Amino acid sequence: MNNAVSGFSKLSKEDKINWIASTYFSYPEHAIATIKQYWNSDSKLQQLHDEFIENTITNFYLPMGVAPNFLVNEKYFSIPMVIEESSVVAAAAKSAKYWSSRGGFKASVLSSEKIGQVHFIYKGDVKKLEDFFQKIKPKFFEATESITKNMQKRGGGILDITLQNKTQELANYFQLHVTFETKDSMGANFINSCLEQLAKTLKAEAQVTSFFTEEEKNLQVVMSILSNYVPNCIVRAEVSCKVEELAEKNIENPQEFAEKFVQAVAIAEIEPYRAVTHNKGIMNGVDAVVLATGNDFRAVEAGVHAYASRNGKYSSLSHAKIENGIFTFWMEIPLALGTVGGLTSLHPLVKMALEILGKPSSHELMQLVAVTGLAQNFAALRSLTTTGIQEGHMKMHLNNILNQFQATKEERIAIAKYFENNTVSHASVVELIENLRK
C-alpha cells in the first residue's frame, strides 16, 4: 500500500487528521474521536500547543508529579517531575525524605561554560592561517557585538575564540572553538547566531587577506553549530552522613549496607554494561525535571553520556566512599539549562513548575536537577542492595496492569490484598484477574 502524501504540511489540521484516520485505521471515526479527545477545550491554549511543532494533530499527555521534602543547601523544595515510569517520582520522594533527616543534599555549580564551533576546510599554509587568525580575532568580537550586547549586560557573552587544528584527524579540517556564558538562558539560538556571524566574518576576511593564495582565500565553512557536549558546565551534588546514621527499616546493619553500596557503585565505575543502566537511573530523575521545566532533555542526555565516556570508557556518573566513618555519595554532571526563553515563557505548566521551584536562576536549576538525579540513583542502589529492585517497582506497576484490564473497584481491593504477601508479576496479576472473573 502506498501511503505517501504530497503537501501534507499545507493541509488544515482537520484535513491532516482525516487523512491519518482514513489511511491508517479500519475505523476512522474512532481514530478521529481519540485524537480529538486529547484536545484542550480552551482554544487559545490549544493553539499555543499546536504552534510548538509542525503538523500537530493532538496533544500527547505525560503525568506531572511532585516529589516533596528535598532539602537542598538547607532549603526545602518540592520538585516537579514529568515522566511516565511508574516508580520514579515515588523513589525520588522517598530518597528526599530519607536524606532530609540526615543533613539533606549539598549542591554547587563548578562552572557554566558552553561551547560552539565553526567547522571549516582550509587547504594551505597552516602558519599563515594561524597568523591570519591572530590578526582578525578582534574583528570576530566586533562583528558579533550587535548579537552579544544584551547578553553582555547580563554578564554573559563570548568568553574566548581559539583556532583548532584537526588536520591529523581529518585532512584540511580546522575549527573556530568558541566558549560562551549565557547566564539564565540555555542559549542555543544566541550561540548559533554568534557562530553564523563568525563564519561570515571568517570567509569575508579570508577573501581580502593579501598574504593568502587564491586557494587559501576560498576556505570552505562546512557548518556552524553549538555543541551539546559541555564538559565545563558542571554541577556537583552530594549527600553524606555518619555510617551508623544510615540505619532504617531495611538497613539494620548500616556498615554492611554502606560497604555493599560502595561496592555497587565501584562495579558501575568499571563495568560499562552496568554503568549504562546505573546512569539511566540517574537520568530518570534528571530528565523528569528537565522536561517539567521546559528544557531540552535530548541535549542533556547526549552531553551527560558523552561526559560519562570522557576517559575513553563508559563509566558511572556517581561515586561513593566510606572515609573516617563517614559515608559520602556524590556526582558531577554537565547540565546546560535555562530558566528564560523558549518554553519557559510559553508553556503554562513549565511556568508553574518554575514557580514551584521558587523561580530559580539557571545555576539554581542545575543544582535542583542534579540532586534529583542523585536521589533517584540512591533509591535504585538502596533497593538493589537490600530488597531488590522488582519488589517496589512491580507494586507501582501493578496499577498500570489493573488499568490495562479495566479492573473494577472490587477487583482492585481483592488484588491489592493478595499481593500484600505475594510477589507482583505481570503473569500473576493476569492469572488472578482471570480467576476473579470466572
Active-site amino acid positions:
85, 280, 296, 393
Using DSSP, state whether 332 is helix, strand or coil: strand
Distance between CA 414 and CA 436 in Å, rounded? 9
Burial of 379 (0-12, 13-18, 19+ CB in 10 A): buried
Grid coordinates of 305: 553520556
Distance between CA 144 and CA 102 in Å, rounded? 49
In 3D space, the residue among 321, 223, 285 whose CA is nearest the CA of residue 80 turns out to be 285
Answer for the pair 180, 116: CB distance below 8 angstroms, yes or no: yes
Number of C-beta neighbours around residue 80 at 10 A = 25
In the numeric block, the cell 563508559 is attached to 314
Side chain identity at residue 382, one-letter code: R
In 62-213, beta strands by DSSP E: 64-72, 75-82, 106-109, 114-121, 157-165, 173-181
Distance between CA 73 and CA 51 in Å, rounded? 39
Distance between CA 432 and CA 417 in Å, rounded? 12
Helices (H), 154-213: 188-207
Kindly report the CA angle at 49 between 45 and 53, in degrees rounded to 5? 160
Q: In what order do the strands lie in the sheet with 234-242?
A: 106-109, 234-242, 326-334, 318-323
Q: What are phi and psi of 107, to 5 degrees?
A: -145, 145
In 3D space, the residue among 297, 263, 258 whose CA is nearest the CA of residue 278 turns out to be 263
